[in-house]
Amino acid sequence: MVDPTTATDRVRATAAALDAVVIGAGPGGLAAAAALRQQGLRALVVERDEQLGASWRGHYDRLHLHTTRRLSALPGLPIPRRYGRWVGRDDVVRYLEEYADHHELEITTGIEVRRVERSGAGWELPATGGRVLTAPAIVVATGHNHSPHIPDWPGRETFPGDLLHAAHYRNAAPYTGRDVLVVGVGNTGAEIAVDLAEGGAARVRLAVRTPPHILRRSTLGWPAQASGIVCRRLPTRLVDRIAPYVERAAVPDLSEFGLPRPGTGLYSRVLDGAIPVQDVGLVAAVRSRRVEPVAAVAGFDGEKVRLADGEEIRPEVVIAATGYRRGLEPLVGHLGVLDGRGRPVVHGARTPPETPGLYFTGFTNPISGMFREMAIDARRIARAAARTAARAR
Higher pLDDT, 6 or 52: 52
Percent of the chain having pLDDT more than 70?
95
To the question of pTM greater than 0.75 for the whole model, the response is: yes
Task: Show the domains of the chain with their CATH numbers.
Answer: 4-146+326-392 (3.50.50.60), 149-320 (3.50.50.60)
Q: Whose CA is closest to 46, among 140, 109, 135, 119?
A: 109
Examine the pLDDT at 273 and tell me if it is beyond 60. Answer: yes
pLDDT tens digits for 307-338? 999 999 999 999 999 998 888 999 999 999 99
Amino acid 266: pLDDT: 92
Confidence of residue 390 (pLDDT cuts 50, 70, 90): confident
Q: Can you tell me the mean pLDDT for 214-221?
A: 90
Q: What ranges in the chain are assigned the alpha helix state H?
A: 4-14, 27-38, 54-57, 89-102, 187-198, 224-231, 236-250, 266-271, 282-287, 329-332, 370-392
State how far Cα 152 lies from the chain centre. 22
Summary mean pLDDT of the chain: 91
pLDDT tens digits for 9-21? 444 444 558 999 9
Amino acid 12: pLDDT: 45
pLDDT tens digits for 242-254? 999 989 988 999 9
Amino acid 393: pLDDT: 63
Amino acid 145: pLDDT: 74
Q: Can you tell me the mean pLDDT for 54-73?
A: 94
